[in-house]
Structure 1
Amino acid sequence: MPPAAPNRPEGPSTARPPAVVALLGRVDSAAATGNPAQAAAELERALRISPRDGDLWLRLARVRMQQKQWQQAEAVALKCISLPESDAATKKAAWGLIGSAREARGDPTGAAAARRRAAAIIL
């Protein structure tokens, strides 16, 4: 899964608040040093500031995948999908991540269903 652009939302969202941009810098630093727990904590702080930013939810879901927290990754990705502000590319990526989480949990049928949902999104 390719990472999102570091400090800007995917899609037509408005500019991020400076505090969120600063927190994303910390997320990137934590990720670069192999500290997913710190990256998750910083993303959760950013989400308290910008709770409707689908890209932040997707990034948190990716961190949960790195932590092998499959159910939490799926739940966070579903939150991303539920936001009207999330664009098609973000939703497509979230469905793909859900497919990976379900596969990791041993649910090949659910994984295939999620991947079909991802494939159905036209960019």
Structure 2
Amino acid sequence: MLLAGVIAATFATTAAAMPAAAAVEQVPGVYPMDCAKWKDKARCAALNRDIKACKDKTDDEWRECMRQPAPTAKFTPPKPRDCSTARNKERCEAHTSALEACKDKLTRAEHRKCIAGQLQAQAPKKN
């Protein structure tokens, strides 16, 4: 009987010592970042938006929510060169036609890959 009383008293004090709901909300987690020290302010702002949007999700849902593609920097394709003054006019014209074919690419990486593919396709085949 004494043992049952001790156990009951232990559970009663443990339940009273548990934190209230307000304290539970301040558990460790992901909080918005200070973008003042970031070089890429757009990336930081995007992460903060994702953190705010995903705060109610947990585990796999949260990971999936946070894996949004990062915003890309604005990319403007280079302007074609004036081939009339170029030393190698054939190569200059090939580059200009590749630029024309790849002008719709939105990122620098896509543009470079497209240009490389265009120039490789136009290059004469070696025997």
Instruction: Please indicate the TM-score interval, normalised by the length of the shorter structure.
Output: under 0.3
* Larger helix proportion of the pair: 1
Give the number of the structure with larger relative contact order, counting CA–CA contacts within 8 Å between residues 6 or more apart. 1
Which protein has the larger Cα radius of gyration, Structure 1 or Structure 2?
2
Structure-2-length-normalised TM-score: 0.22
